[in-house]
Amino acid sequence: MSGKEQAFIQEAFDTNWVVPLGPNVNGFEEDLKTFVDSLPGGYTLEPAHEVVALSAGTAAVHLGLLACGVAPGDEVIVQSFTFCASSHPITYLGATPVFVDSEKDTWNIDPDLLEEAIKDRIAKTGKKPKAIVPVALYGMPYQIDRIMEIAGRYDIPVVEDAAEGFGSRYDGQVLGTFGKFGVLSFNGNKMITTSGGGALVCENLEDKNKIMWYATQAREAYPYYQHEAIGYNYRMSNICAGIGRGQMTVADEHIAHHKHVKDLYKHLFNNVPGIELHDNPSQRYDSNFWLNTITIDPVLHIKGQENAYKTVVRGAVGGAAGVVHATDNAHTECEPNDNVEALRVVLDAAGVEARPLWKPMHKQPVYKNAPAYVNGVSENLFKVGMCLPSGPYVSDEDVRYIVDTIKSAIIR
């Protein structure tokens, strides 16, 4: 933690603001407003957005959907290729997630399949989905122009899940500012962190006030506690916001570093047959490269591949916390290829934390009965893909070591 974060935290203690509100929360929200509305060349997006700092990105998804009117019995279209925090809040509200697969260029929600899903849900249920949730997978922007055009024709609000895409841009505009709401995350592994936390980008002050009301237990304006709706304890603490204010001073530096790491990976993998680094599809896309990802040709053979999945994992993999459910089976119905798992084991033995891509939600047992519109893209990517270290403390020497380890693991 730098001196800037410590100074904001110390200020919170000195002024006794150690609660889910206070000067750091207000200051962090103002910093975020300036950041998300910034445009290239020093211009500012108009009209300006409002931001609510919350306890988690998951809370932001939850409240964004709630503010869109999602209720029990409704359906919400959500990208399948994502972390569960994009879909679980739908179920919190008693609604049903409708999973839509990805397109090959960005790995994000396929606009053609999105419209097909909307038409089919209307035909089958007699009503349209209440919201659409695209996800900036690993920081890569989605085809937001097409998504917004489709959403506009059917009058369905869009809740952008830009949790992994903090600072990513499409046509120069920051993700999270196109839809009705935009979700940001400041979890410990994100582009900037508040140790835990998130935010919801809102179109206007009226929406911000509504979200703040829900996030503070939906308390009515009386001198005592009066509740006429169900609310949630979702506001960010003044301590966490102090960390965020310090982190905002290095946000651009962090984003630039992630892009530099991507460029170095790309250069070093240039002459490695069978390994392909995912990159921006065109100049319209400006990913933050929160995580750099590779795909591994199924024909590529890796040292130890014959032993892949022979050992049951007994603890957390990739720094996962709170893993208390054990299993006696090393296999699931949908899993990465043997060479991907073998490479993960090789990197782990070399002290490098690498992970498979997100397992598509439509392949998760908990969502086995949810409607899904699939084309095979996300499932195929899950079988061949891997995430590589990309954070602000990953040095050029680290990248070279990682790439050299991968090269040495390949059997020619």
Task: Please name the amino acid found at residue 194.
Answer: T
Same domain, 283 and 219: no
Answer for the pair 347, 294: CB distance below 8 angstroms, yes or no: no
- Residue 404 pLDDT: 98
Q: Which of 201, 225, 250 corresponds to the end of one domain?
A: 250
Same domain, 191 and 48: yes
Domain that holds residue 197: 3-250
The secondary structure of 18-43, three-state, reads CECECHHHHHHHHHHHHHHCECHHHC
Residue in 324, 58, 88 with CA at minimum distance from that of residue 196: 58
pLDDT over 60 (residue 321)? no
Stretch 36-43: mean pLDDT: 96
Confidence of residue 23 (pLDDT cuts 50, 70, 90): confident
- Residue 10 pLDDT: 66
Confidence of residue 313 (pLDDT cuts 50, 70, 90): confident
Same domain, 397 and 257: yes
CA distance 42 to 222: 44
What the block records as the tokens of 39 is 């445009």
Pairing of strands 50-54, 173-174: unpaired
Same domain, 186 and 320: no
Residue in 186, 290, 288, 202 with CA at minimum distance from that of residue 247: 186
Same domain, 202 and 275: no
CA distance 412 to 409: 9
111-125 and 144-154 helices, crossing angle to 10°: 20
Same domain, 243 and 295: no
pLDDT over 60 (residue 319)? no
Stretch 122-132: mean pLDDT: 98
Answer for the pair 378, 86: CB distance below 8 angstroms, yes or no: no
Percent of the chain predicted with pLDDT > 90: 87
pLDDT over 90 (residue 4)? no
Q: Which of 209, 231, 250 corresponds to the end of one domain?
A: 250
- Residue 311 pLDDT: 80
Q: Which of 6-10, 33-37, 329-333 has the highest mean pLDDT?
A: 33-37
Task: Please name the amino acid found at residue 169.
Answer: R
Stretch 166-193: mean pLDDT: 96
Taking the alpha carbons of 125, 131, 136, 138 in that order, is the dihedral positive or negative?
negative
CA distance 395 to 101: 34
Same domain, 160 and 142: yes
Q: What is the pLDDT of residues 223-255, one digit of tens each?
A: 999 999 999 999 999 989 999 999 999 999 999
Q: Which of 222, 250, 278 corresponds to the end of one domain?
A: 250
Residue in 198, 126, 214 with CA at minimum distance from that of residue 162: 198
**Domain count within the chain:** 2
Same domain, 78 and 215: yes
Ordered alpha helix ranges (H), 126-237: 144-154, 205-215
Q: What predicted TM-score, i.e. pTM, was given to this entire model? A: 0.93
pLDDT over 70 (residue 46)? yes
Same domain, 261 and 178: no
Sheet-wide strand order for 96-100: 131-133, 75-79, 96-100, 372-373
- Residue 20 pLDDT: 63
Residue in 141, 247, 158, 172 with CA at minimum distance from that of residue 201: 158
Stretch 278-305: mean pLDDT: 98
In this structure, the number of other CB atoms found within 10 A of the CB of residue 230 comes to 9
C-alpha distances out from residue 354 to 47, 119, 136, 248, 318, Å: 41, 39, 20, 27, 7
Same domain, 283 and 407: yes
Q: What is the mean pLDDT of the chain?
A: 93
Residue in 348, 296, 64, 291 with CA at minimum distance from that of residue 184: 64
CATH of the domain at 237: 3.40.640.10
CATH of the domain at 311: 3.90.1150.10
CA distance 410 to 412: 6
Same domain, 311 and 204: no
Full DSSP string of 304-357: TGGGTT-S---S-STT--------S-S--SS---HHHHHHHHHHHHTT---EEP
